[in-house]
Amino acid sequence: MFDARVHAELELAAGQTGIAEADLGRLTTLGCGGPAALLIETDSAKRLAAVLAVTAAREIDWFIIGLGSNLLVADTGWDGLVIRLSGELKRCEALPGGKLSAGAGASLPRAAATAADAGLTGLEPLAAIPGTVGGAVAMNAGAWGTNIGDLVEQVEVCLPGESRLLEADSLTFSYRNCQLPPGCAVSRTVLAMTPDEPAAIRAAMQDYRRRREESQPIGERTCGSVFRNPPGEKSAGELLAHAGCKGMVRGAAAVSTTHANFIVNKVGASASDVIGLMDECRRRVYEESGISLEPEVRLLGEIELKPVQ
């Protein structure tokens, strides 16, 4: 818990009233986990930078939550500050020259739809990913052979008390990673796209959605892909399926029978159920292939995987 003075400083910086002991489980796509010490919203880069200035001065751990995908929160919660982006930080707009400006809090489906309306192609493969633009940039999210880093032209980031505009050539994008300045938060990005007919773009978006629905457990509570694809020809899903992980159950959590790299909350699963399944999946894959799978899902709070070696 933050004391009253720190709580008030954070609210003043954010321009919003915070929520103490906020239930994080309901804010994640997986639907499990405990509370955060404080949840607060902020609606501009200036206010986000001000919040980060308070966290730096007070040595407060912070985390930005988007749509809650790719996140597993410990059952005991997290003793830190969780920030949600709103207002102008969720705004998307087409710019001259075939560019799209997207706030970090905007969802990828919304950004893709804005691009389609403006006749800009490039985001279609990412249109069905249940995440935000900021999270996608920070982890270089990708699907169907396209990574968002392929489109990034500029990234605005907030640091304690300031914001900076970074050019793409100053950033290093790699598999599920972007090297950003330490302690920064993405607030906006500009994507360089290609003109095309809106009808063709929307048709491509629909095709990618159909493929996703056919290959993943859409409509069930998951955190998205649980493990990163390791180097080599076989994906994490293939390795997990070959190791007999499909359908494994622990408590109310189960490995999807549709795609082995997804864990499903069958209603009432705990974070302990999920991490236990992840441990068993990693153990089986390591014994089968000698490969140690690394998590793609972000673990928040006092929760960790067991070593497999």
DSSP state of 228: P
DSSP state of 227: B
175 token code pair: 């598999």
Selecting among 176, 209, 283, 298, the annotated active-site residue is 176
Question: CA nearest 304: which of 280, 281, 262, 272?
Answer: 272
Q: Based on the number of CB atoms within 10 Å of its own CB, is 96 exposed (0-12), middle (13-18) or buried (19 or more)?
A: exposed
Query: 296 an active-site residue?
Result: yes
Pairing of strands 185-192, 142-143: unpaired
Selecting among 69, 225, 256, 270, the annotated active-site residue is 225
91 token code pair: 């705004």
Query: 282 an active-site residue?
Result: no
Amino acid symbol at 297: V
Q: How many whole angstroms separate alpha carbon 168 and alpha carbon 175? A: 16
Q: How many whole angstroms separate alpha carbon 250 and alpha carbon 256? A: 12
As beta bridge partners, residue 194 has: 121
Catalytic residue ranges? 176, 225, 296
